[in-house]
Amino acid sequence: MKSLTPSFLLRSGLLLVMTLTFSLSNSSFLSLGNMYALGQSFALLGLITLGLALTMIAGEFDLSVGAIVAVAGLVMVKTGEVQPLLGIGLAVGTGVLIGLVNGALTLTLAVSSLVTTLGVMILLRGVAVWIEGGQVVTYANFDAADLLDLKLLEFLSPRSLVTVGCFVAVAALLRFTRIGRDIYATGSRRKAAMMSGARVPLSILVAFALSGGAAALVGALMSISLATASSQFGANLLLQAATAAILGGVALSGGVGRPGGIAVGVLVLSVLNNGLSLMGAGSPTILLLNGAVLVVVVLIDGDLPAIARRAMQRARPHATST
């Protein structure tokens, strides 16, 4: 199978080793309650990582996903208290629209998406503060929150199942549709893709629209679960999502990445953070180990033996000269 690449096996092996290590060091790690907590973490981080990864596969990068989470959460709370599905629809629609604006600006201005999405991110943070109005925005429909986080089989929830469904849908999109193939081609070799007939502008627009929609869905569901919304929602999610995407095998250069690998990357980060928290590790230690795991995986993915050989070859002339 194409998904069973050495890179995928590496990440799956890392996930297995981490799971075994934490389960042996703490008996509560494999408890149903902790498995439920891991599922909730996957639901939050997985969805935003999936959207961000699509822009990375297309050779772009969406810095605005965290700010979209904040705006979408506020839209949800303001419009969906009586009819939650309406609020979710409006929030996701807002995210898709913002994504389309990101894609259109990137294409029209012919500049890096880092520039355009940075500007949109700053703008959206201001919009979120304006919507918030300097007050705590609460969501009083507790029935919706109870339903969204209802325990299914003791370790799943409707929120985690929504994320799993999104992964399946994106996997089908990338594998079985022309636009999915065009997204890969756009991120791999853009000029060659255009010459071969790939719909590059449409691919970029679709990638950004899906990224915005996924981030907005995260914000909407988060605001329901927490019964509140804030302009600060999503402030730390961009860094976590980018880390999880790279851990999942998505290349910053574009054209590489599969939803299955992305899911494994999200689980690696979620299991690492959860296990370290159970062991009593503080935030600095968790951040340090997150970075260490990312560096190790990237080095191994970059053919560490070849890197070592090149380093030895560079050092050899100096050794012979002495």
What pLDDT score was predicted for residue 155? 86
SS3 content of the chain, % helix, strand, coil (to 5): 75, 0, 20
Q: What is the pLDDT of residue 135?
A: 83
Query: CA-based diameter of the chain, in Å?
Result: 80
Indicate whether 21 pLDDT > 80: yes
What is residue 97's three-state secondary structure?
helix
How remote is the C-alpha of 175 from its chain's centroid?
19
Give me the pLDDT at residue 244, please: 93
- Among 263, 277, 281, 269, smallest CA distance to 28 is for 277
Higher pLDDT, 311 or 86: 86
**What confidence score (pLDDT) does residue 1 get?**
43
- CA atoms of 232 and 125, how far apart (whole Å): 8
| pLDDT tens-digit readout, 200-259 | 999 999 999 999 999 999 999 999 999 999 998 888 899 999 999 999 989 888 899 999
- CA 214 to CA 275: how far, in whole Å? 27
Q: Quote the radius of gyration of the chain (alpha carbons, Å).
A: 21
DSSP per-residue letters across 187-229: HH-HHHHHHTT--HHHHHHHHHHHHHHHHHHHHHHHHHHHTEE
Q: Are 39 and 156 in contact (CB under 8 A)?
A: yes
The pLDDT mean for the chain works out to 89
pLDDT digits (tens, 9 = 90+) for 124-179: 999 999 999 888 789 888 899 899 999 988 889 999 999 999 999 999 999 999 99
Task: Reply yes or no on whether the pLDDT at 319 is more than 60.
Answer: no
Please tell me which residue, 61 or 135, carries the higher pLDDT value: 61
Angle, alpha carbons 12-266-277 (nearest 5°): 100
Q: Rounded distance, CA 285 to CA 282, Å?
A: 5
Asked whether the beta carbons of 59 and 193 are under 8 A apart, the reply is no
Is the confidence at residue 88, as pLDDT, over 70? Answer: yes
> Percent of the chain beyond pLDDT 70?
91
Assigned fold of 6-321: ABC transporter involved in vitamin B12 uptake, BtuC (1.10.3470)
Report how far residue 54's alpha carbon sits from residue 62's, in angstroms, rounded to the nearest whole number. 9
Paired sense of beta strands 228-229 and 137-138, if any: antiparallel
CA separation for the pair 279, 263 (Å, rounded): 24
Quote the CA–CA distance of 62 and 24 in Å, as a whole number: 39
The answer to whether residue 307 scores a pLDDT higher than 60 is: no
Q: What is the mean pLDDT of residues 264-293?
A: 88
In the chain, the percentage of residues whose pLDDT exceeds 90 is: 63
Main-chain dihedrals φ then ψ at residue 138, nearest 5 degrees: -105, 160
Q: Is 137 helix (H, G, I), strand (E, B) or coil?
A: strand
Write down the pLDDT at residue 189: 86
Angle value at C-alpha 74, between 70 and 75, nearest 5 degrees:
115
Structural domain spans, the chain = 6-321
Higher pLDDT, 194 or 60: 60
Q: Is 240 helix (H, G, I), strand (E, B) or coil?
A: helix
Task: Pick the closest to residue 101 from 79, 86, 123, 85 (CA basis).
Answer: 123
Binning pLDDT at 50, 70 and 90, where does residue 43 land? very high
pLDDT at 315 over 70: no
More confident residue, 196 or 166: 166
For range 178-183, the mean pLDDT: 95
Question: Which burial class, exposed, middle or buried, applies to 273 when counting CB atoms under 10 A from its CB (0-12, 13-18, 19+)?
Answer: buried
pTM recorded for the entire structure: 0.89
